[in-house]
Chains A and B, each alone.
Chain A
Amino acid sequence: MPHKIVDIKDVVIRFSGDSGDGMQLTGALFTDAAALLGNEFSTFPDFPAEIRAPQDTIAGVSGFQIHIGSGDVHTPGDLCDVLVAMNPAALRANACRTKPTATIIVDSDAFEEKRIARAGFTTGDPVKELKLEDRTVIYAPVTSLTKESLKDSGLDAKAVVRSKNMFALGICFYLFNRPLQTTFNYFERKFAKRPELIAANKKVLQDGFNYAGNIQAIQNTYNVKPAKYAKGTYRNINGNQATAWGFIAASEKSGRPLFCGSYPITPATSILEELAARKDLGVKTLQCEDEIAGICTAIGAAFAGNLAITTTSGPGLSLKSEALGLAVITELPLVVVDVQRSGPSTGIPTKTEQTDLWQALYGRNGECPMMIMAPHSPSHCFDAAFWAAKLAMEHMMPVMLLSEGFIGNGSEPWRIPQMKDYPAIVPPLVAGDDAPYFPFRRDEKRLARRWALPGMPGLMHRIGGLEKDNDGHVSSDPLVHERMVRERAAKVARVAEFIPPLKVIGEQEGDVLLVGWGGTFGHLYSALKELQPGKKRVGLAHFDYIHPLPKNTANVFKKFKTILVCELNNGQFASYLRNQHQEFCYHQYNKVQGQPFMVAEIVDAVMKVKN
């Protein structure tokens, strides 16, 4: 019976299995294929902290969710249309993430009595126990078919079993009418020196594809048409890579060499890894002995005239607090990236959250305000890093960039920009013949001090953690101290003159203003789209700039009856807004589960608002 091809606008697929089953790679390869077919996509790698947790346990389940569509894809999707579950634990962990209409593909070989029990099932029938009978469940003996496929490959038994993820990928490619060539190309690049692995992986992928075509269980396959993109060259990019590249771009535009002092920490590490790979562009990275050395080497590098950055996540930011104060009082340019994760303390290290905002705003001794920015999507990390570096250098101050695990690891298509379209970065460097030099005298426009680089004759000066007067002399004069405290705060506040105004998407005035910041943008935007047009007139104001707030914030707020601040914490931004703009009443929608929002939750929260 020839199968029917059904056109669909979008689909959400979740690959899940043991943390050693290669689900992240499977998801990434499906993403690459979708990208080259011109689909919009958004990905959500959702994995445990353990590298190889005990096999077949819930704790060891690793997932990769991808949402592809021919338009309007702004999140990885709430619930999935297709779930691939490589073992009973994966099925159990992800059953609640499937739509009632979902198709579930399981590796039936993994559903042995013992392994079913290890996943915590009390009966021998997981599908029934999870009440999934309404879903279309395809029982495919993936492991044994992979073994059969590779019996003549010459690979050892372990390598053969490891290839089963490619068999599952083949099934999915059939289900969504994807060509295999993109993935074949990947094998050829990846295993250039191991021809036997190229052949084996191609064969398993093809056999999985063919198997799906031969079984009766699949009656329809689906086609997701290419999206209507603006003309241009595109690539896939994740947030951490975009962050790293944004800094390199700022280095090129400013002519200041890029230095990153850092210590590995989930989920920020891949920024350091990406920068370490960029020796071709002269990037210097120093993997330090600890988080404190990460920021202190960066402060030293800033003093010496580099574009200095340090990258971390919440617990690491706590360790850097004292040095942040040093960067504030020495008024050196520095960008600190905090890719937020679930806390407090070690928390749930691989899961996303927005719970470091108060730490970023207030977590230092003394009067110590810092500029704070937040990227709102994986590709926006590029621009956010670029602007953080530009503002840090031109205003001579540290800037905190609050990214999140969700956008740091998540990826989406990105129209590649051209560097000629980016503005120049002009730090206030002191020319050599400018002597005498007074380190803390300021320009009127930005209130920034000037940057005199060691090595230049005539500009010898000494700065540090002790309070100084504008001429750079140590001072404990009460009035000098108070003046310097106010000048440093005024300098940060002055940045509001240099950042774009807050934009409202959707209704410009009306019943409910959705307010968000950082990585929740995609979910809030999707919710807005679902709510429009509707009974309630809804707008969305999403903040990329947290401190200082855009100048028009109050003007935006006053046009709506209700302000609903949605964030992945207990209300940190709402509390900050209450402090900054006390004239408004703020409603909150909060989630602190280490998971991103679901669009449906936001829609529901808006519907519940009583105007």
Chain B
Amino acid sequence: MKYTPQDFKSDQEVKWCPGCGDYPILAAVQRAFPEICETLGYTKERFVFVSGIGCASRFPYYMDTYGFHGIHGRAAAIATGVKVANPTLTVWQISGDGDALAIGGNHFIHAIRRNIDINILLHNNQIYGLTKGQYSPTSKLGKVTKTSPFGTVEHPFNPGELVLGARGTFFARSLDVDMKLTSEIMLASARHDGTAVTEILQNCVIFNDGTHAGITGKAVREERTIVLRHGEPMIFGINRDKGLILDGLQLKVVRIGEKGITEKDILVHNAQETNPGIHMMLVNMQAPDYPVALGVIRAVSDKTYDDNVRDQVLAVQATATIKNVDDLLHSGTTWEN
């Protein structure tokens, strides 16, 4: 069956603020899903969108798929239950930075550790929007908000670092404004077996406007971000004249054509490398010394939790003598009266 983006739009009125970064993300997802279905042979009834609480978490209401709007922080746990209960479903979790990394931090890291086959879209606007402007676990140190009138005194999480630290098999990053890249990553995420986390740097037009402007602005984006693609050299810049090399144990930005550097010297991105060393350096790149890494940074294959659960059940059942409840009740020591 051939779908169009329209097929994934529900009849519900979208109620985000005008100009919210969630709009282009929703559009990118609705644009990506027909391609996902076509490429992977899916029909749309297999999709389940699960969310927690927050602006981003209203997402499931806007998708014409199965949807579950949960409670704050628990989206990963609910999504895990859906997937283990019925592994033939394709599960997408939508969470904001507060939902996934503050109140839901525990479920987030454990879902990743288990490598449960779900896709997590992490809308990172570095602020609490729905409660009207308090700092989040990704707010920059010193950020002034309603609950940090003198600036925060705590260090933010880098979501990618957290994913790799929890032994994640897939991490990607995109920008709300780059719908093409987001759609491309959605397909990669759908293809990946295991927990696939995509961080989307998202603007909150009301409470944190422009927080990502330093890298997302049209004028600076080419210079301050690098889109990584597996097997391709790590080149960026408006003139595609900058690249990354390994200098000792550090990444280093170099200019192609200067100091004898040619394209051959530039690192080639290997998303499938199991050793997370380079991936960790890539997710940690920050301005002004480095471009912010976008695209699929890590995608390594490993057995998923839901596959392991299924395999264990099948293996035990193959040799089991207990086939039904009557057998079970009569197992072990019994006696006649």
Assess whether B329 is in contact with A296, with CB atoms less than 8 Å apart: no
**Chain A residues whose C-beta falls within 8 Å of the C-beta of B330 in the assembled complex:** 233, 235, 416
Assess whether B80 is in contact with A300, with CB atoms less than 8 Å apart: yes
Assess whether A229 is in contact with B329, with CB atoms less than 8 Å apart: no
Given known A-B contacts A308-B85, A416-B330, A455-B86, A299 and B45 have beta carbons under 8 A apart: no
Given known A-B contacts A235-B334, A462-B68, A454 and B45 have beta carbons under 8 A apart: yes
**With an 8 A cutoff between CB atoms, is B69 at the interface?**
yes
**With an 8 A cutoff between CB atoms, is A464 at the interface?**
yes
**Chain A residues whose C-beta falls within 8 Å of the C-beta of B89 in the assembled complex:** 304, 454-455
Assess whether A300 is in contact with B45, with CB atoms less than 8 Å apart: no
Question: Which one of B59-67, B173-181, B215-223, B267-275 is at the interface?
Answer: B59-67
Cα of A474 to Cα of B57 in the assembled complex, Å: 14
Assess whether B68 is in contact with A234, with CB atoms less than 8 Å apart: no
Assess whether A300 is in contact with B82, with CB atoms less than 8 Å apart: yes
Measured CB to CB, the nearest residue on chain B to A322 is B71
Assess whether A300 is in contact with B85, with CB atoms less than 8 Å apart: yes
**Chain A residues whose C-beta falls within 8 Å of the C-beta of B12 in the assembled complex:** 473-474
Assess whether B328 is in contact with A304, with CB atoms less than 8 Å apart: no
Cα of A271 to Cα of B244 in the assembled complex, Å: 55
Measured CB to CB, the nearest residue on chain B to A290 is B106
**With an 8 A cutoff between CB atoms, is B147 at the interface?**
no
Assess whether A463 is in contact with B81, with CB atoms less than 8 Å apart: no
**With an 8 A cutoff between CB atoms, is A368 at the interface?**
no
Smallest Cβ distance from A274 to chain B, in angstroms? Answer: 10
Contact of B80 among A248, A286, A453, A457 (CB under 8 A): A286
**Chain A residues whose C-beta falls within 8 Å of the C-beta of B70 in the assembled complex:** 296, 299, 326, 464-465
Cα of A281 to Cα of B320 in the assembled complex, Å: 9
Measured CB to CB, the nearest residue on chain A to B15 is A474
Smallest Cβ distance from B103 to chain A, in angstroms? Answer: 10
**With an 8 A cutoff between CB atoms, is A342 at the interface?**
no
**With an 8 A cutoff between CB atoms, is B239 at the interface?**
no
Assess whether B81 is in contact with A464, with CB atoms less than 8 Å apart: no
Assess whether B78 is in contact with A300, with CB atoms less than 8 Å apart: yes
Given known A-B contacts A32-B333, A462-B68, A297 and B77 have beta carbons under 8 A apart: yes
**Chain B residues whose C-beta falls within 8 Å of the C-beta of A325 in the assembled complex:** 71
**With an 8 A cutoff between CB atoms, is B246 at the interface?**
no
Question: Which one of B192-200, B251-259, B287-295, B309-317 is at the interface?
Answer: B309-317
Contact of A289 among B44, B61, B107 (CB under 8 A): B107
Cα of A245 to Cα of B327 in the assembled complex, Å: 11
Given known A-B contacts A280-B316, A300-B68, A38 and B337 have beta carbons under 8 A apart: yes
Given known A-B contacts A234-B337, A457-B43, A466-B69, A282 and B317 have beta carbons under 8 A apart: yes
**Chain A residues whose C-beta falls within 8 Å of the C-beta of B77 in the assembled complex:** 261, 288, 292-293, 296-297, 300
Among B70, B74, B77, chain A packs the most CB atoms within 10 A around the CB of B77
Measured CB to CB, the nearest residue on chain B to A248 is B325
Cα of A231 to Cα of B335 in the assembled complex, Å: 11
Assess whether B81 is in contact with A282, with CB atoms less than 8 Å apart: no
Assess whether A230 is in contact with B326, with CB atoms less than 8 Å apart: no
**With an 8 A cutoff between CB atoms, is B324 at the interface?**
yes
Cα of A219 to Cα of B232 in the assembled complex, Å: 92
Cα of A252 to Cα of B328 in the assembled complex, Å: 12
Near B by CB (< 8 A), chain A positions 239-253 give 245, 248-249, 252
**Chain B residues whose C-beta falls within 8 Å of the C-beta of A2 in the assembled complex:** none
**With an 8 A cutoff between CB atoms, is B110 at the interface?**
yes
**With an 8 A cutoff between CB atoms, is A210 at the interface?**
no
Measured CB to CB, the nearest residue on chain B to A466 is B69
Contact of A457 among B45, B71, B85 (CB under 8 A): B45
Near B by CB (< 8 A), chain A positions 249-286 give 249, 252, 257, 259, 261, 278-282, 284, 286
Assess whether B50 is in contact with A300, with CB atoms less than 8 Å apart: yes
Assess whether A249 is in contact with B82, with CB atoms less than 8 Å apart: no
Assess whether A419 is in contact with B313, with CB atoms less than 8 Å apart: no
Assess whether B107 is in contact with A463, with CB atoms less than 8 Å apart: no
Smallest Cβ distance from A486 to chain B, in angstroms? Answer: 23
Contact of A305 among B49, B85, B106, B107 (CB under 8 A): B85
Contact of B332 among A38, A235, A458 (CB under 8 A): A235
Cα of A453 to Cα of B88 in the assembled complex, Å: 12
**With an 8 A cutoff between CB atoms, is B234 at the interface?**
no
**Chain A residues whose C-beta falls within 8 Å of the C-beta of B337 in the assembled complex:** 38, 226, 229-234, 415
Given known A-B contacts A464-B60, A464-B70, A465-B70, A416 and B329 have beta carbons under 8 A apart: yes
**Chain B residues whose C-beta falls within 8 Å of the C-beta of A79 in the assembled complex:** none
Assess whether B45 is in contact with A459, with CB atoms less than 8 Å apart: yes
Given known A-B contacts A284-B309, A462-B66, A234 and B336 have beta carbons under 8 A apart: yes
Assess whether B81 is in contact with A278, with CB atoms less than 8 Å apart: no
**With an 8 A cutoff between CB atoms, is B46 at the interface?**
yes
**Chain B residues whose C-beta falls within 8 Å of the C-beta of A300 in the assembled complex:** 50, 68, 77-83, 85
Measured CB to CB, the nearest residue on chain B to A303 is B68
Cα of A232 to Cα of B66 in the assembled complex, Å: 49
Mark contacts of A409-420 with chain B using CB atoms, 8 A cut-off: 1 yes-contact digit, 0 otherwise: 000000111110
Smallest Cβ distance from B319 to chain A, in angstroms? Answer: 9
Contact of A460 among B65, B85, B106, B324 (CB under 8 A): B65
Contact of B67 among A416, A417, A462 (CB under 8 A): A462
**With an 8 A cutoff between CB atoms, is A340 at the interface?**
no
Measured CB to CB, the nearest residue on chain A to B73 is A292
Smallest Cβ distance from A323 to chain B, in angstroms? Answer: 6
Contact of B81 among A32, A229, A308 (CB under 8 A): A308
Measured CB to CB, the nearest residue on chain A to B50 is A300
Cα of A383 to Cα of B60 in the assembled complex, Å: 39
Assess whether B325 is in contact with A38, with CB atoms less than 8 Å apart: no
**Chain B residues whose C-beta falls within 8 Å of the C-beta of A293 in the assembled complex:** 74, 77, 80, 106-107, 110
**Chain A residues whose C-beta falls within 8 Å of the C-beta of B101 in the assembled complex:** none
Cα of A38 to Cα of B324 in the assembled complex, Å: 27
**Chain A residues whose C-beta falls within 8 Å of the C-beta of B309 in the assembled complex:** 284
Assess whether A301 is in contact with B82, with CB atoms less than 8 Å apart: yes
Assess whether A245 is in contact with B84, with CB atoms less than 8 Å apart: no
Contact of A304 among B48, B107, B333 (CB under 8 A): B48
**With an 8 A cutoff between CB atoms, is B286 at the interface?**
no
Assess whether B81 is in contact with A36, with CB atoms less than 8 Å apart: no
**With an 8 A cutoff between CB atoms, is B322 at the interface?**
yes
Assess whether B324 is in contact with A416, with CB atoms less than 8 Å apart: no
Smallest Cβ distance from B236 to chain A, in angstroms? Answer: 38
**Chain B residues whose C-beta falls within 8 Å of the C-beta of A32 in the assembled complex:** 333
Assess whether B85 is in contact with A419, with CB atoms less than 8 Å apart: no
Assess whether A282 is in contact with B85, with CB atoms less than 8 Å apart: no
**Chain B residues whose C-beta falls within 8 Å of the C-beta of A575 in the assembled complex:** none
Assess whether B313 is in contact with A282, with CB atoms less than 8 Å apart: yes
Mark contacts of A430-453 with chain B using CB atoms, 8 A cut-off: 1 yes-contact digit, 0 otherwise: 000000000000000000000001
Among B44, B78, B89, B328, chain A packs the most CB atoms within 10 A around the CB of B78
Smallest Cβ distance from B53 to chain A, in angstroms? Answer: 8
**With an 8 A cutoff between CB atoms, is A298 at the interface?**
yes
Measured CB to CB, the nearest residue on chain A to B309 is A284
Mark contacts of B12-46 with chain A using CB atoms, 8 A cut-off: 1 yes-contact digit, 0 otherwise: 10000000000000000000000000000001111
Cα of A181 to Cα of B49 in the assembled complex, Å: 59
**Chain A residues whose C-beta falls within 8 Å of the C-beta of B106 in the assembled complex:** 289-290, 293
Q: List 16 A–B pairs whose Cβ atoms lie within 8 Å, in order of A's numbering.
A: A35-B335, A234-B334, A235-B333, A257-B85, A280-B317, A280-B321, A296-B70, A299-B78, A300-B77, A300-B80, A323-B74, A416-B330, A454-B89, A455-B88, A462-B10, A465-B53
A-B residue pairs, 7 tightest by C-beta: A300-B81, A464-B69, A462-B67, A297-B81, A280-B320, A296-B77, A301-B85
Report which B residues bind A (CB closer than 8 A): 10, 12, 43-46, 48-51, 53, 60-61, 63-71, 74, 77-86, 88-89, 106-107, 110, 309, 312-313, 316-317, 320-326, 328-330, 332-337
* Known A299-B78, A473-B12; further 12 A-B contacts with Cβ < 8 A: A233-B330, A249-B325, A299-B81, A325-B71, A454-B48, A454-B66, A454-B89, A457-B45, A460-B45, A463-B68, A465-B71, A474-B12
